[in-house]
Structure 1
């Protein structure tokens, strides 16, 4: 009798724990895009679309009948993603084009080809990124995370901006991160992190740059047909963490993996806020905002809301990538 009660108690405990885990998993997964809007006739560019949330975004927007340009660094993986996305979306209007955000010349070549070959661009999703890598440099000598996450997208957006303005309704979406709030200042004195390099601190700095870039871009676009918003996709199980896990021994990985499986979003779940910002009808004229879990959120730090910091970052960024500055 006692044994049966013990077994019953254990069974109930396991069931309760299971329900709690499912609840937690759904809670941390965040919101979903409920819009059914189609994108027939629209052209979308997504950077880093060969994997992770970029690929999931590409699949969904291709399903909605958009022409999707996969702007990716690796030709082999880019072409493989093109084939896979065509199969999963049922659309043949998916094309790979080479873009290496760690090379300003590559950004310029990509932009030139797009401007020559595309009649219009309706949505630009600056999604690609690198996180917590060793102290690497881009082709042009910039710190890798700041160079790829911010400067590459900054140049790309500016080079395409006149073409974007030609379309009747355009959205620019910058994939940032909640990590912006862990960076309390813009290192104007050391944008390349030459004096001090801590991988995650530098990543957070680049994500703050994404938020401030969006803020200043939206200000400059007031009165046009182009909107610009940034977002936090959530904590996702993607290749973005490739430089984190390899540094762990096998025992720590055994401890961390169950937590990752339970708490982290899948790439499909992580793509929902990007998709929402790209298609939701109610966001057509919304600009200069920050989103998470498919909802507008308030920026939580003083620096992330600083117009002065945003303007200063824009000016320095333009100088770094060789753009003529105009306000």
Structure 2
């Protein structure tokens, strides 16, 4: 990977697993890397490890519990006040919740953490990304995709942990496609990917009891989308690893995407600026 010295990236869920490896790979190129986590001790430990392995001092920690939209707003405000550029936002944080729970805001927890917190964070950071353009947004989704049921978005009936996870990941991809369309001609690109199958992470081992792919494989696919020169200007795509692929058909339903967008804005409350769909 070419040097990314002078560029700055924010990686959510960067204290463990895929996010930590992505942050390490980016720091190794000389880029500034902002790590997000919810535990201050784990965030400091990840930062210190990455600094030791790369010799890169352009690192920072930002704390937010993505089960609280209020802390997402606080984190976004801190990033906006501390930095004058952001070249890439990698929305990676995620959970699999076996039994139905709700966030601090009364939202089904998987939907809140995996999708809605990233919707809000991205919207709040758009002014900084626009000022830094060309800039990239990468949404870490999954090949596990199930359609959003607008009659039961919060899965109040028949909850299943993997069903909730798969719906939240398709919501990420729907957001990716819709946002890409709304940001055309701004210099900001937006893409989503399934990084690798059953990577060797704590979440995968605890959920499935086994792993199939090394974390390195997924991290390489994410960093490629975030920084590879050959993907400059590419937007509104879904990838499986390094290969462009087709997402679930609901992601290509423009009315469903707009309906999800409107719901997300209602759940998030006031945003910095309206972002109208392209005609």
Q: TM-score, normalized by length of structure 2?
A: 0.94
- How much does 1:242 deviate? 5.8
Q: Secondary structure at the match of 2:60?
A: strand
> Which structure 2 residues correspond to residues 10-25 of structure 1 after superposition, within 5 A?
none
1:117 alignment partner, one of 82, 97, 101: 82
> Which structure 2 residues correspond to residues 152-191 of structure 1 after superposition, within 5 A?
152-180=117-145, 183=146, 185-191=147-153
1:253 counterpart residue number: none
Distance (Å, rounded) in 2 between the aligned partners of 1:279 and 1:111: 22
Determine if the alignment matches structure 1 residue 274 to structure 2 residue 237.
no
Larger helix fraction of residues: 1
2:233 counterpart residue number: 285
Please tell me whether the aligned partners of residues 132 and 244 of structure 1 are also in contact (alpha carbons under 8 angstroms): no
Please tell me whether the aligned partners of residues 73 and 98 of structure 1 are also in contact (alpha carbons under 8 angstroms): yes
2:192 counterpart residue number: 230
1:306 counterpart residue number: 253
- How much does 1:243 deviate? 4.9
1:71 counterpart residue number: 36
Determine if the alignment matches structure 1 residue 317 to structure 2 residue 257.
no
2:16 counterpart residue number: 51
1:96 counterpart residue number: 61
1:219 counterpart residue number: 181
- How much does 1:132 deviate? 3.8
Distance (Å, rounded) in 2 between the aligned partners of 1:113 and 1:132: 29
- How much does 1:88 deviate? 1.5
Instruction: Provide Cα deviations, 1:136-163, integer angstroms capped at 9, x if missing partner.
Output: 2111111111000000000000000011
Cα distance change, pair 326–167 in 1 and its aligned pair in 2 (3 A): closer
2:242 counterpart residue number: 294
Distance (Å, rounded) in 1 between the aligned partners of 2:38 and 2:254: 33
Distance (Å, rounded) in 1 between the aligned partners of 2:222 and 2:191: 10
Instruction: Provide Cα deviations, 1:2-37, integer angstroms capped at 9, x if missing partner.
Output: xxxxxxxxxxxxxxxxxxxxxxxxxxxxxxxxxx22
Instruction: Provide Cα deviations, 1:188-224, integer angstroms capped at 9, x if missing partner.
Output: 1221111221111111000110100001000100111
Please tell me whether the aligned partners of residues 182 and 275 of structure 2 are also in contact (alpha carbons under 8 angstroms): no
Please tell me whether the aligned partners of residues 133 and 243 of structure 1 are also in contact (alpha carbons under 8 angstroms): no
Q: How many residue pairs align between the two structures?
A: 273
> Which structure 2 residues correspond to residues 234-245 of structure 1 after superposition, within 5 A?
234=196, 235-241=198-204, 243-244=206-207
1:62 alignment partner, one of 27, 37, 42: 27
CA RMSD of aligned residues (A): 1.4
Question: Unmatched 5+ residue regions in structure 1?
Answer: 1-35, 246-255
Query: Which has more radius of gyration?
Result: 1
Moved over 3 A (4+): 323-326
Instruction: Provide Cα deviations, 1:261-280, integer angstroms capped at 9, x if missing partner.
Output: xxx11111221110110111
Greater RCO, CA 8 A, separation 6+: 1
Q: TM-score, normalized by length of structure 1?
A: 0.81
Please tell me whether the aligned partners of residues 129 and 240 of structure 1 are also in contact (alpha carbons under 8 angstroms): no
Please tell me whether the aligned partners of residues 98 and 160 of structure 2 are also in contact (alpha carbons under 8 angstroms): no
1:204 alignment partner, one of 142, 150, 166: 166
Distance (Å, rounded) in 1 between the aligned partners of 2:48 and 2:186: 36
